[in-house]
Structure 1
Amino acid sequence: MAVSAVLGGVLVLSACNGGGDQPKGSGQASAKSQADVDAAAAKDASKARIAITPKDGATNIGLNDATSVTVSDGTLTKVELKSSEGADVPGKIAADGKSWKPDAALKRSTKYALSASAKDEAGHEAHENASFTTVSPENSFIGSFVPDEGQTVGVGMPVSITFNKPIKDQKAVQAAINVSSSSGQEVVGHWFDAQRLDFRPEQYWQANSTVTLKLALDGVQGAPGIKGVQSKTVTFKIGRSQVSTVDAKTKKMTVTRDGQVIKTIPISAGSPSNPTYNGQMVISEKFKETRMDGATVGFKNGEGKGEYDIKDVPHAMRLSTSGTFIHGNYWGSDSIFGNVNTSHGCVGLNDTQGANDPNTAGAWFFDNSLIGDVVTVVNSPDKTIKPDNGLNGWNMSWAEWKAGSAS
């Protein structure tokens, strides 16, 4: 039994080592043969080294600049990027064959597979693969901004960005945004709250200059677990300089363009019980005709309905978020303009119903105004409008403005 046990152990040991009935020395020959195979494989291996960004298995990846392929000691021959639905993402290999990037932004909450091939100088091929998932809407933020690309605006138009989620790391987000002017004016950002960031120079933009907004937010962490996804450059033009001054006491508006008074217009501002805000207000929207319902801005009668509801207000231009407009007025008698303040806080200009008479004061001012032009109200018994009520940051001193910057 002891002999059997020993022999059994030998047999088991021999079987585990793969010796079997091979002749003595066959194990060394086998090892030598494997070494030859490894050497041959190493000899044929490509020297090209492919690097894929992001790494395989990565999540919460940005949509614009987070995906790329590079190669060292070789050139790329083929790169394919596909979504989990099988859609191809177009891209181009650089002229020197050393890098690749997609041509378009990726989609949110999507899994992608990337495969890349390259060759070294000897023609030996190398291959790399990776898969990753882009950031979800829940884990990302975007900023809506004005003005738009290619727009021509007035000298008072700030760059205003509203984020769809509260920003905790305001310094990081502001550092990824640049606003510059061809005029060379210093431009500074100001946070009104966790979701609104405006940029402006100390004085109005110089007329006929060009302003460029660069958003490099892709991958920037705005709050824990929340990243930006935008990578965009926007350019807009500043037109001629037009600033109009409404004097609520004299009931006249003086329109100044490029330093010269071009027109004086009789107006009717807010009544003594509902005066117009004082301050510098920027035209943010223009409507040839629009409805104005007092109930939407707090002017209600005893039945809960609006004190006024005019469905076809002509030549209306918004001056505040809270409902201040400069607009045409056809329902008031001609005698009020220049003589009596009768409105609920807006600035009224003589006009006709239908907004189709180009000879009225309302039509003239509408046709000669740009979004971004400034309307300054003085000598009203009301307070100065708040800087964040519309695009009206000009009512803040430069020192106060800079104090709200996170840079």
Structure 2
Amino acid sequence: MERKKPAVRPWGTTAALESRVTTPPENGSAPTKHPRITRRRTAIAAAAVVVGGAVALTACGGIGSHTDGKAASSSSPTAAASATTSTPGPTQTPSATSQAGADAAAAKHTSAAKITITPRSGSTGAKVSGAVKVTVSGGTLTSVTMKTKDTGKAVAGKLSADKKTWTPSGSLAHSTEYAVAAAAVDGKGQPAAATASFATAAPTPATFTGYYTPENGSVVGVGMPVSINFDHAIAQKDRAAVQRGVTMTSTSGQQIVGHWFSSKRLDLRPQTYWVPGSHVTMTLNWKGVEGAPGVHGTQHKTVSFDIGRSQVSTVDTATHMMTVVRDGQVIRTIPISAGGPDHTTYDGKMVIEEKDQTTRMNGATVGFTDDDGKGEYDIPDVPHAMRLSNSGTFIHGNYWSDPSVFGNANTSHGCIGLEDLKGGGDPTTDAAWFYDNSLIGDVVQVVNSPDKVIQPSNGLNGWNMTWSQWVAGSAV
């Protein structure tokens, strides 16, 4: 059977309904699951602040203005100062008593509300998200205004239900200076005000990372390409520089050329299958390399892998047989059952990209459903499963079909089935033998299928392109 996902997934992502154990790709290699080899951040609207959802909060007279609306009285510090001349006369000599009276009068008009604006005024390098906050103690906020200093554009914000805290509604802009003015009143109605200005940090340079297969130190089959999947789209103009950042050599001396399947995927391989026993070394040097405007690489590392023996297995859907050839010699001929007339198996060369002792296959995940919406099949324990395409083509063990179909009829939903026992515990079955004798990177070639040749990008199947087609996809 074939389990195809609604959309073609990157070769190493976790498929639905399959148990996966992965590790974070801190080292740049793909997340892995034993035993298979796998791979692996606003517009600011201007709006008035609303108190209790009803009263618009605005500053009176602009940033830093006083908001009580009263003229200074003779008892205020300002009035007391203006009532005296700069040079005291003989009858106007200041005294400790008059100064104390002025201080006491001023204290009567000091608000208990204390406003704090974060970041502190004059600071730079503020974060664009989560750093700005206006709070008040001993009172409630009545107005908060935040604007960009160069354009005067207002920043929308939100006031807490208790009117004690105000924060911006969204993220701020990088490398921008902002001004904040806040007003509050205490329990007696005495006003308080505060202002501050600060600048946000410059943007952190965006980076791209490449997640690759095969893994460092692995042993793979002769058909295994290097496949690099990027977490950021690589711009067309930058692909040559990114590709030049990948250096590959093989002890076989084979020329290795890259092919861009998309802005996020670069595969590399030789013209023909790898020479058995060769050692391949790959160096990724993307430190400072631009992958897109403002996006640069940081990786600089070297990995290597070895090519094992040569094994190419040919599945003939017309004769219902698979011939396994190792190092030029036929080592086993295995009866198979391929895709039936309504669900034929892809033709062409496919590379084993993952191995699972057991996996679940549900027809509903790929549109094979009955009238009740449930899958035409749902087998939770398909044994000895090896993936051949991203869209769901597998070669796997089959314990539910009558043994007579193997070697005689094509009955699956597109996969290649080999005779097996439930649980897969018998090592003598054809499926168990093939699983135990296969490597990631081995080639399975399907011939005589009425279906089309599989797309080269559907899995690690670039061998279905001519060398000229492959080279044409190189950026260097």
TM-score, normalized by the shorter chain, greater than 0.5: yes
Which residue type is aligned with residue 376 of structure 1?
Q
Q: 1:397 and 1:304 mapped to 2: Cα distance?
A: 42
SS in structure 2 opposite 1:313?
strand
SS in structure 1 opposite 2:341?
coil
Matched, 1:388 2:457: yes
Structure 1, gaps ≥5 residues long: 1-132
8 Å contact kept, 1:141–1:163 = yes
Shift of 1:135: 8.8
Quote the residue 2:467 is aligned against: 398
Quote the residue 1:223 is aligned against: 292
Question: 5 Å matches for 1:4-403?
Answer: 136=204, 139-168=206-235, 169-403=238-472
Q: 2:283 and 2:276 mapped to 1: Cα distance?
A: 21
TM-score normalised per structure 1:
0.66
8 Å contact kept, 1:351–1:362 = yes
Q: 1:188 and 1:134 mapped to 2: Cα distance?
A: 39
Cα distance change, pair 179–292 in 1 and its aligned pair in 2 (3 A): same
Q: 1:248 and 1:374 mapped to 2: Cα distance?
A: 16
Q: 2:390 and 2:232 mapped to 1: Cα distance?
A: 20
Deviations 1:367-394 (A, max 9, x none): 0000000000000110000000000000
8 Å contact kept, 1:173–1:217 = yes
Quote the residue 1:58 is aligned against: none
Shift of 1:249: 0.2
Which residue type is aligned with residue 282 of structure 2?
L
Q: 2:279 and 2:364 mapped to 1: Cα distance?
A: 40
Q: 1:376 and 1:318 mapped to 2: Cα distance?
A: 13
SS in structure 2 opposite 1:270?
coil
Deviations 1:233-267 (A, max 9, x none): 01000000000000000000000000000000000
Q: 1:134 and 1:347 mapped to 2: Cα distance?
A: 55
Shift of 1:302: 2.4
Q: 2:240 and 2:434 mapped to 1: Cα distance?
A: 41
Deviations 1:190-234 (A, max 9, x none): 000100000000100000101111100111100000001111101
Structure 2, gaps ≥5 residues long: 1-200
SS in structure 1 opposite 2:471?
helix
Which residue type is aligned with residue 240 of structure 2?
K
Which residue type is aligned with residue 306 of structure 1?
G
SS in structure 1 opposite 2:355?
strand
SS in structure 2 opposite 1:173?
helix
Which residue type is aligned with residue 445 of structure 2?
T
Which residue type is aligned with residue 368 of structure 1?
N
Give RMSD over aligned pairs: 1.7
Cα distance change, pair 330–217 in 1 and its aligned pair in 2 (3 A): same
SS in structure 2 opposite 1:218?
coil
Higher relative contact order (CA 8 A, sep 6+): 2
Q: 2:246 and 2:307 mapped to 1: Cα distance?
A: 20
8 Å contact kept, 1:146–1:161 = yes
SS in structure 2 opposite 1:172?
helix
Which residue type is aligned with residue 143 of structure 1?
G
Cα distance change, pair 190–335 in 1 and its aligned pair in 2 (3 A): same
Shift of 1:272: 0.7
Larger helix percent: 1
Q: 1:359 and 1:134 mapped to 2: Cα distance?
A: 64
Quote the residue 1:18 is aligned against: none
TM-score normalised per structure 2:
0.57
Shift of 1:297: 2.4
Any runs of at least 4 consecutive aligned residues in structure 1 with deviations exceeding 3 A, and if so which? 133-136
8 Å contact kept, 1:297–1:322 = no
Q: Give the percent of matched residue pairs that are identical in Structure 1 and Structure 2.
A: 64
Deviations 1:37-66 (A, max 9, x none): xxxxxxxxxxxxxxxxxxxxxxxxxxxxxx
Deviations 1:347-366 (A, max 9, x none): 00000001100010000000
Q: 2:264 and 2:202 mapped to 1: Cα distance?
A: 23
SS in structure 1 opposite 2:282?
strand
